[in-house]
Amino acid sequence: MIAPDPKVSKIYYAKPSITELEVRYAADAAANGWGEHGSDYINRFEKSLSEYVGTRHAVATSSATGALHLGLAALGIGPGDEVILADTNWIASVAPVVHLGATPVFVDILPDTWCLDPARVEAAITSRTKAIIAVHLYGNLCDMDKLEAIAAKHKLFLIEDAAEAVGARWGNRHAGSRGVFGFFSFHSAKTVTTGEGGALVTSDDELYEKVLTLNNHGRVRGEARQFWGSVIGYKYKMSNLQAALGCAQMERVEELVARRREIFFLYKELLADCPGLSMNPVANLEQAVTADGIAESGKLRGSAKFDETGQSFGYWMPTVIFSKESGIKKETVLANFKNANIEGRAFFSPLSLQAGFTPAHNEISYDLSLHAINLPSYHDLTAVDQNRVAQLVKEQLR
Ligand SMILES: Cc1ncc(COP(=O)(O)O)c(C=O)c1O
């Protein structure tokens, strides 16, 4: 393999956007956020997140994985239960299901959303099914109208994995706000970050109390006895220091989300008219926006434009898919990216192919994972660097 040219600067796939505001809040938390002020930033962060998402409650956690574990446990998911989720996924969306002793059931995705196929979800329901986890992949949105109807009909819990979807919404309804609970990741690669971190959001008061208890080693709020657990719980708390970063990021959330959209649409423009190549679904966004005369295709620079169904994606990870016919494999493309000193990311491999599971032969999930990669996207990525990435993508097609 040819070594990357050290003179060509490296383009990372992700970097956080840290301004003087984040530094100031983190320094304040380090200097003053102790004793009676030890939870100030946590409380403020939870309030700003729940207000933004539109839920009654938010619980800041150490990761999205922890938030899902708490939420599933609070719903009583356990041995003998089945939980349906998409095969195209990050392992974190299934690990807590397995830890609780429940059985994951992997179904295929839709080719035009890369999210759960509602028809296949319904076909996979058995008498043991308890929940559906709807993952809004790369900031796309699941068809929640259909999933809600299915969950209501079969009396199932519908959970939203919005780990990658901060800012994605239907009109003013945010991803994460429609399920019995939703959860976010604030890992350093995400649009909003606290370094590591996550949150569970819900409007269900009872569930919220259960989650608080479970996240405090089973200690019920208001318990008079010190160090007294009422159930065996967990501890997935976010620290006040992390929450300080989160408060600053939430003050900038619209700017952070808008920038992701701007980066996506520049890639879309640079990679337009490339036969054999497609990108994240945009659900006729350009057409709808042009139709109402707001902006022309490709000039959507960052603002939260909605498609004809009222959706606006989060565009966390711009993704290119090489057609099956092109024969181009993601491993080859990623190796070429490495040689050019550009970090690419492999499209998620189906979970059912990975250790501990049985292959489910979900055709779309299996096919997409062979030919797709995620492109670099972060707040300070320059147009010059995006051009370099786009040129390299085009070279793969020659
Ligand atoms: C879809 C999805 N779910 C869950 C997670 C878990 O997030 P965390 O790393 O904060 O636990 C991730 C993380 O990238 C994710 O992409």
The residue among 236, 251, 266 that closes a domain is: 251
Whether residues 25 and 147 fall in one domain:
yes
Q: What percentage of the chain's residues is helix, strand, coil (to nearest 5)?
A: 40, 15, 45
At residue 304, the pLDDT reads: 57
| Ligand 1 atom closest to the CA of 198, numbered from 1 | 10
Residue 58 near residue 333, CB atoms below 8 Å: no
Residues with CB under 6 A from ligand 1: 63-65, 90, 92-93, 135, 161, 163-164, 185, 187, 198
CA–CA separation, 357 and 85 (whole Å): 13
Q: Is residue 216 part of a domain?
A: yes
Q: Is residue 299 part of a domain?
A: no
Residue 106 near residue 352, CB atoms below 8 Å: yes
The residue among 251, 272, 306 that closes a domain is: 251
At residue 238, the pLDDT reads: 98
CA–CA separation, 263 and 283 (whole Å): 17
Ligand 1, residues 187, 192, 348, 365: which to mutate, most atoms within 8 A of Cβ? 187
Whether residues 246 and 357 fall in one domain:
no
Whether residues 26 and 167 fall in one domain:
yes
Whether residues 215 and 78 fall in one domain:
yes
Whether residues 114 and 29 fall in one domain:
yes
The side-by-side arrangement of strands in the sheet containing 82-86 is 57-61, 198-202, 181-185, 157-161, 129-135, 82-86, 103-107
Ligand 1, residues 62, 68, 87, 90: which to mutate, most atoms within 8 A of Cβ? 90
| Ligand 1 atom closest to the CA of 164, numbered from 1 | 16
Whether residues 263 and 148 fall in one domain:
no
| Ligand 1 atom closest to the CA of 187, numbered from 1 | 10
Ligand 1 centroid to Cα of residue 107, in Å, is 19
User: CB within 8 A of 153, min separation 6: which ones?
Assistant: none
Ligand 1 centroid to Cα of residue 37, in Å, is 29
Ligand 1 centroid to Cα of residue 65, in Å, is 6
CATH of residue 266: 3.90.1150.10
Ligand 1 centroid to Cα of residue 7, in Å, is 34
Q: Is residue 111 part of a domain?
A: yes
Domain hosting 271: range is: 254-280+315-396
Ligand 1 centroid to Cα of residue 234, in Å, is 18
- Considering its fold, how many domains does the chain have in total? 2
Q: Is residue 301 part of a domain?
A: no
pTM: 0.94
Ligand 1, residues 61, 65, 109: which to mutate, most atoms within 8 A of Cβ? 65
CATH of residue 54: 3.40.640.10
Total residue count of the chain as it appears in this document: 398
| Ligand 1 atom closest to the CA of 135, numbered from 1 | 1
| Ligand 1 atom closest to the CA of 137, numbered from 1 | 1
Whether residues 222 and 92 fall in one domain:
yes
In terms of C-beta distances under 8 Å and separation of at least 24 residues, what long-range contacts does 214-223 make, across chains too?
214/70, 214/73, 214/74, 215/59, 215/61, 215/70
Average pLDDT by stretches of 10, the chain with 398 residues: 71 97 98 98 98 98 98 98 97 98 98 94 98 97 96 98 96 95 98 98 98 97 95 98 98 96 94 93 51 40 62 93 93 97 97 94 95 97 97 95
Whether residues 194 and 274 fall in one domain:
no
Known catalytic residue at 190: yes
Q: Is residue 85 part of a domain?
A: yes
Ligand 1, residues 164, 186, 191, 316: which to mutate, most atoms within 8 A of Cβ? 164
CA–CA separation, 41 and 61 (whole Å): 13
Ligand 1 centroid to Cα of residue 190, in Å, is 9
Q: Is residue 74 part of a domain?
A: yes
- Provide the 8-state DSSP code for 297: T
At residue 281, the pLDDT reads: 83
Whether residues 269 and 231 fall in one domain:
no
Backbone angles phi, psi at 37, to 5 degrees: -100, 10
Q: Is residue 5 part of a domain?
A: no
Whether residues 223 and 343 fall in one domain:
no
Whether residues 267 and 200 fall in one domain:
no
Q: Is residue 309 part of a domain?
A: no
Ligand 1 centroid to Cα of residue 138, in Å, is 11
Question: Residue with the nearest Cα to atom 2 of ligand 1?
Answer: 163
Whether residues 117 and 226 fall in one domain:
yes
Question: Residue with the nearest Cα to atom 7 of ligand 1?
Answer: 64
Q: Which of the residues 190, 210, 268, 330 is marked catalytic?
A: 190
The residue among 251, 269, 298 that closes a domain is: 251
